[in-house]
Amino acid sequence: MQTYFLTEKIKRTMINNLKTLLTLSLFLALSAIGGMVKIPAVIGSVALDSMPALLVASLYNGRKGAIVAGGGHIISSMYAGFPLGPLHILIAVEMALFVWLFGYVFSKGKRVLAAVLFFIGNGVMAGIPFIFILSLSFYLAIVPSLIVGSLINLTIAHFLYPPLVSRLPKRDMA
C-alpha cells in the first residue's frame, strides 16, 4: 500500500514538472518570437522579448518569469549577432532580476508599483553599468529605446493578462 502511494506521488510530481517545463518552453518560444520584433536602437538587441516573461511573472511567479526573461534576451541578442558580446550575459541577468522583482511585487497585489519598478529598472537602471563599461554617450544613446521597449512590453503584457488569467490554472505551476 505504501509503495502505491509513493508511486502516485512521484507520478504527480513528474506530471507537474512536465507541465512546468512545457509552459516555460512555450513562453520562451514566445519570447524568441518577440525577440524578432526589434525596437530601433543603437544596438539591435532591444526587442519585445520581455513581454512573455512579464506574463509568466504575473500569471505564475517571478522566478519562472526570470527564467523566461534571461533566456529570451539571450535569444534576442543572438538574432542581432551579440553586438555587445559577453555583456549580454549581464543584460540577461539584469532582465531576469527586474522581471523577478516585477513578479514579486505583482504577487503582493501592487500591480501598478510592479509595472513602475520594471519600467524604471529595465528602462533606466539597466543601462547604468554601461556608463562605466563603455561610456556615458552609449548610455544616453540607448536609454530612449530601452524606455520605449519597456513601455511597449508592459503595455502588451497588461492587455494580455486579463484573458490569460481566466484561462490558465495558477496552481499547475507551483
Cα separation, 96 vs 103, whole angstroms: 10
CATH number at residue 116: 1.10.1760.20
Vertex 98: Cα angle to 96 and 104 (nearest 5): 100
Cα separation, 26 vs 117, whole angstroms: 26
The mean of the pLDDT values for the chain is 90
* Count of domains for the chain: 1
Average pLDDT over residues 109-123: 96
| Beta carbons of 103 and 63 less than 8 angstroms apart | yes
Q: Which residue range is the domain that position 29 belongs to?
A: 2-173
Average pLDDT over residues 114-137: 96
Residue 10 burial (C-beta neighbours within 10 Å; 0-12, 13-18, 19+): exposed
Confidence (pLDDT) at 1: 46
List all residues 6 or more positions away from 165 whose beta carbon is below 8 Å from its beta carbon: 58, 59
pLDDT tens for 60-113 read 999 999 999 999 999 989 988 999 999 999 999 999 999 999 999 999 999 999
* 0.85 surpassed by pTM: yes
Chain CA centroid to CA 81, Å: 20
Q: How confident is the model at residue 2 (pLDDT cuts 50, 70, 90)?
A: low
